[in-house]
Amino acid sequence: MTSTIPAAADADTLRFPAGFLWGAATAAYQIEGAVTEGGRTPSIWDTFSHTPGRVTGGDHGDVADDHYHRFREDVALMAELGLRSYRFSVSWSRITPQVTADGLGPVSAAGLGFYSELVDALLAVGITPSVTLYHWDLPQALEDAGGWPARATAERFGEYAAVVAGALGDRVPLFITLNEPWCSAYLGYASGVHAPGRTDDAAALAAVHHLNLAHGLAAAAIREAAPAAKVAVTLNLAWVRPETDSALDAEAARRVDGLQNRVFLDPILHGSYPADVLADTAGVSDWSVVRPGDLEIISAPLDVLGVNYYSPTVVRHWTRERPRETADGHGAGAATPWIACDDVEFPHQPGPKTDMGWSIDPRGMTELLLRVARERPGLELMVTENGAAFPDELQPDGRVRDPERVAYLRSHLAAVHAALEAGAPVIGYCVWSLLDNFEWAWGYAKRFGVVHVDYTTLVRTPKDSAWFYAGVARDNAVPNPSA
């Protein structure tokens, strides 16, 4: 592979703090394939993707990027790009393939062995692993027993966290309990555009609480099994902006902020659910799933908050005079993920968009990092995902030219830098994603990788953005986008 890492111009570069963790992120079901190997049993995403009509093109993760067999090649690629950290997720169905609501069942040596070898391969080339314990791929048996709306799922998750932290905690310095519980709860159980595809608002709110509880139980389990490791959770916080300064648009923004941000931030950081969200949703749930003691578990100390940011969220009051606009970036299900938001709409925005139709506005990155920095001073922050899909093509000369992704990364890295300058304690950044991969309900139709994957040959080709990012990692600095 010929390295074409661009040199940083000395003037006008944005320098990052020494030791900043430049990394890439992936998730198990999106890249691994090998869905029946090592004793792995189905997850909700195996079932969902094999259900006709659920995923674009009928795509599924049976092979995906075949990372399960090619992980050494992928680690070598990251080393060549000079990455310092790698965030990956563990497939629960590989670790305890016989889990039921009543118990974890036997731990799979093959399952743990795969991730243990991956960790060793990373450490051998100086890449720090960050392990996400849950990136949406619930074992199907637990869904059959009620899924996240059932408390037993959270309890089993705590036990599973102890197993993984016990096996990897001597080498992994950071465990992220959950990835984006907003998506698991609302896209999985309210709008149904993600697995398991249910459309039941009360179930979705029960899932919200049990995901929060699962985080708390896992945090405690990690502390005990791996006392040296840091504990994190990754949230997809929304930068919610009312379209106008009218009181009605402000009310729409309050509701959306409550359901997406505060219903996770408040219990995790402050040990309580926001009173306005409980009131807004009273017609759907009495929240009796919250038991005495749960909030103490959920608000256990946190070392790092993972922030995923892609796109802004603009809302306005829906007057019902025109068909409702639903440009919230979360797919067009028949049902909405926005519970108790009957008067809210998400207007289409002018301006540049990615291939997902997501508006590009890096200001949200700065705003969200500063918001959480203000809300919990001293809590370390990590951008655990940020990136963009574009319809990249491998050119006959073997290059993938993706100037739009380079521009996206550059502007969002500048936004992270602005947050650092304003005092937000950001310790690292993971580009989403290392590889083109299975983009959930969109299948392989959306390419987020800085590395192109040919899905026929599975050949990996770093895009121009990979070399841009390699230069950033090498120089610990970003060429100033406005220069």
Q: Restricting to residues 371-410, which ones interact with ligand FCB according to CB under 6 A?
A: 385
Backbone angles phi, psi at 167, to 5 degrees: -85, -35
- Binding to ligand FCB by CB under 6 A, coded x per residue (else -) over 18-47, reads ---------x--x-----------------
As measured in angstroms, the least distance from the Cβ of 210 to ligand FCB is 19
Active site residues: 180, 385
How far is CA 236 from its chain centroid? 7
**251 burial class (0-12, 13-18, 19+ CB within 10 angstroms)?**
middle
Paired with 242 in beta bridges are: 315
List the one residue from 49, 93, 96, 179 that touches ligand FCB (CB under 6 A).
Answer: 179
CA 316 to each of CA 81, 258, 274, 298, 401: distance values in angstroms, whole numbers, following the listed order: 43, 15, 21, 32, 37
Of 61-69, 178-186, 368-376, 417-425: span binding ligand FCB (CB under 6 A):
178-186
- Binding to ligand FCB by CB under 6 A, coded x per residue (else -) over 137-166, reads ------------------------------
List the one residue from 143, 180, 201, 345 that touches ligand FCB (CB under 6 A).
Answer: 180
For residues 101 and 219, give the distance between their C-alpha atoms in angstroms, rounded to a whole number.
20
Residue with tokens 């969902």: 48
Question: Is the backbone peptide bond immediately before 433 cis, with ω within 30 degrees of 0?
Answer: yes
Of 92-100, 176-184, 292-300, 460-468: span binding ligand FCB (CB under 6 A):
176-184
Kindly state whether residue 464 participates in binding ligand FCB, applying the rule CB under 6 A: no
For the chain, what is the largest distance between any 2 Cα atoms, rounded to a whole number of angstroms?
Answer: 63
Q: Restricting to residues 304-323, which ones interact with ligand FCB according to CB under 6 A?
A: 308
Of 14-22, 73-81, 175-183, 220-228: span binding ligand FCB (CB under 6 A):
175-183
| CA quadruple 127, 433, 302, 290: dihedral sign | negative
**437: Cβ contacts below 8 Å, ≥ 6 apart:** 26, 27, 30, 31, 64, 65, 444, 448, 449, 453
As measured in angstroms, the least distance from the Cβ of 27 to ligand FCB is 5
Kindly state whether residue 178 participates in binding ligand FCB, applying the rule CB under 6 A: no
Contact 387, 409 (CB under 8 A): yes
Nearer residue to ligand FCB within complex by CB, 32 or 249? 32
Q: Restricting to residues 324-363, which ones interact with ligand FCB according to CB under 6 A?
A: none
Of 95-103, 118-126, 179-187, 190-198: span binding ligand FCB (CB under 6 A):
179-187
**84 burial class (0-12, 13-18, 19+ CB within 10 angstroms)?**
middle
As measured in angstroms, the least distance from the Cβ of 179 to ligand FCB is 5
How far is CA 317 from its chain centroid? 29
Backbone angles phi, psi at 326, to 5 degrees: -130, 40
Nearer residue to ligand FCB within complex by CB, 294 or 392? 392
List the one residue from 108, 130, 212, 236 that touches ligand FCB (CB under 6 A).
Answer: 236
Size of the site for ligand FCB (CB under 6 A): 12
As measured in angstroms, the least distance from the Cβ of 307 to ligand FCB is 12
Of 177-185, 249-257, 313-321, 393-401: span binding ligand FCB (CB under 6 A):
177-185
**456: Cβ contacts below 8 Å, ≥ 6 apart:** none
- Binding to ligand FCB by CB under 6 A, coded x per residue (else -) over 410-439, reads ----------------------x------x
**DSSP per-residue letters across 412-442:** HHHHHHHHHHTT--EEEEEEE-SB----GGG
As measured in angstroms, the least distance from the Cβ of 308 to ligand FCB is 6
Nearer residue to ligand FCB within complex by CB, 108 or 336? 336
Binding residues for ligand FCB, rule: CB under 6 A, are 27, 30, 179-180, 183, 236, 308, 385, 432, 439-440, 448
